[in-house]
Amino acid sequence: MSTPAGSSGTERIDFSDGSSADLVRKPDGWAIEIDGVAQSHLGDPAQPPKLASIRWMLAALGDQAPRTAAHLGGALLALPRAVAHRWPSTTQTVVELEPALVELTRSRFPLPTGITMVTGEARSWLDAHSGSDHDAIVIDVFVGNRIPPAFTSLECMSAARSALRAEGRLVLNSVAGPELLFTRRELATLRTVFGHVAMIVQGSALAGARFGNATLIASDSPIDGAAIRSALAGDPSKGALVTDLDPIIDGAEPISDADQLWSPKPNLPDVSAALRLLEQARHAVGTLRSTAD
């Protein structure tokens, strides 16, 4: 499952599809990284989650404890753990496809009370749970830093709606970037299924200045904007709740399964050269110290 990396504090996690990730020991916990991008972080549950995307999704759930919640996509279960700390009475199901992540979580990071982890394909699980009456469903599925087509489509959102109670809420960990067509189409898709849709995003990503996360929120009941804004107040990420989506959607077409539409590739700065220079500098400093000794 994983290969220790000596004193570096990093272990490789080998996935069943041949890809891999790094489990990295941090001063404040553990992180899973893919291509240098943190996908999940596990720290002190009494502290706000390290990743802004997790804090946004927690805020998106509102201020009322969900009786039942389902999380599609698991990793280190950062959000389910935060929910368990905030609302210990919530019963949660986490559906994770990758056996290595399930084994890692169960063996190294025990599950809090109230959380059940299921190994399975999340879209199939969702399709099979129509009428399951969940208070909240969270879709947080990424493959190689992109959202696969099974979790971007009208059919997926319709299945989520069927698995929610009438007042239930769907929360999606999504993206916004320099080209907003995917985000616009995903919002249009949610609007086709749900009566109320909103988004948490940074202004710079919404303006197309950078690539970033976006938390999408959908429900057939009005979304409590005041509670979400209160939860976001003072957050260093400066994420903001956007409810006027007409100018953003601007006639974009909903996504269907037939489109096979992935989210766009992250347009992130290439920091590999800087990291190599930093490592070389550290090596030089170590050499000088050993010489001086």
Establish if 219 belongs to a structural domain.
yes
Range of the domain at 96: 40-292
Establish if 62 belongs to a structural domain.
yes
Domains of the chain: total: 1
Establish if 32 belongs to a structural domain.
no
Establish if 10 belongs to a structural domain.
no
Establish if 280 belongs to a structural domain.
yes
Degrees to nearest 5, angle at CA 147 with 11 and 91: 75
Establish if 22 belongs to a structural domain.
no
Establish if 11 belongs to a structural domain.
no
Farthest-apart Cα atoms in the chain, separation: 70
Establish if 102 belongs to a structural domain.
yes
The rounded distance, in Å, linking the Cα atoms of 50 and 191 is 30
Per residue of the chain (293 residues), what is the pLDDT tens digit? Answer: 444 333 358 899 998 888 888 999 989 899 888 877 777 899 988 899 999 999 999 999 999 999 999 999 988 899 999 999 999 999 999 999 999 999 998 889 989 999 999 999 999 999 999 988 999 999 999 887 899 999 999 999 999 999 999 999 999 999 998 789 999 999 999 999 999 999 999 999 998 888 999 999 999 999 999 999 999 999 999 999 999 999 999 999 999 999 999 999 887 554 444 334 445 555 544 444 444 55
Q: What is the pTM of this model?
A: 0.86
C-alpha dist (Å) from residue 112 to 23, 60, 138: 20, 21, 18
| CATH assignment at residue 155 | 3.40.50.150
**5 contacts: CB under 8 Å, gap ≥ 6:** 11, 12
